[in-house]
């Protein structure tokens, strides 16, 4: 059974919420605790995977979101793991994801 755009949006928002909880532990926890950094990386993969299955209509309703970049990020995390920049992971989790959550939470 295929998931709806509403369900995929909830997947994105739930992953973002989990990312925020992990980010609250601070950069030191991210740098020092492998479980924290790998969990954040995995949540970004979920974020990208859910985004890749949203309908074009849904994505087009949020023109300010760079969906291609989000989807490409998931590809890098899953398939080009040797190229993952930990600083970029932290920046996405603490800046880009909250910005996207704000956009997705705007009334339509």
CB contact set of 101 (below 8 Å; sequence gap of 6+): 13, 16
Query: Is the CB of residue 76 less than 8 Å from the CB of residue 83?
Result: yes
d(CA 97, CA 105): 12
| Residue 96 DSSP code | I
19-68 pLDDT per residue, tens: 999 999 999 999 999 999 999 999 999 999 999 999 999 999 999 999 99
Q: What is the pLDDT of residue 43?
A: 96
d(CA 12, CA 18): 10
């Amino acid at each position: 059974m295929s998931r709806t755009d509403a369900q995929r949006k909830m997947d994105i928002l739930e992953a973002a919420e989990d990312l925020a909880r992990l980010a609250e532990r601070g950069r030191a926890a991210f740098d020092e605790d492998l479980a924290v950094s790998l969990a954040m990386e995995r949540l970004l993969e979920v974020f990208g995977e859910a985004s890749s299955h949203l309908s074009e209509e849904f994505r087009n309703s949020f023109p300010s979101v760079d969906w291609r970049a989000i989807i490409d990020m998931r590809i890098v995390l899953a398939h080009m793991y040797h190229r993952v920049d930990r600083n970029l992971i932290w920046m996405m989790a603490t800046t880009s994801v909250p910005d996207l959550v704000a956009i997705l939470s705007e009334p339509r």
